[in-house]
């Protein structure tokens, strides 16, 4: 939750996107993967439904 391992800590993600309407955008990154936002290590794509991705993103963004 609060420690960086390969990617950012969830609380850091929540802080970066606080007050922004980014759930749909971040859900797409969860499903398709991405990189360059938090360093060189890319985030792999995850095999989840759009609804699951949105719930995951909402959960991460709630970690303050």
Which residues are CB-contacts of 25 (< 8 A; sequence separation ≥ 6)? none
Residue 39's pLDDT is what?
84
Q: Which domains does the chain have, with CATH numbers?
A: 10-61 (1.10.760.10)
- Locate 27 and state its tokens: 């859900």
Q: What is the pLDDT of residues 1-60, one digit of tens each?
A: 777 767 899 999 999 999 999 999 999 999 999 888 888 888 899 999 999 999 999 999
pTM (predicted TM-score): 0.85
Residue 15's pLDDT is what?
96
- What b-and-e string marks burial along 1-13, b requiring 16 or more CB atoms within 10 Å of the CB? eeeeeeebebebb
């Amino acid at each position: 939750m609060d420690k960086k391992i390969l990617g950012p800590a969830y609380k850091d993600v929540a802080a970066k996107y606080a007050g922004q309407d980014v759930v749909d955008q971040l859900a797409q990154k969860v499903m398709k993967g991405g990189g360059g936002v938090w360093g060189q290590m890319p985030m792999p794509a995850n095999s989840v439904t759009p609804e699951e991705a949105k719930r995951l993103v909402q959960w991460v963004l709630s970690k303050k």
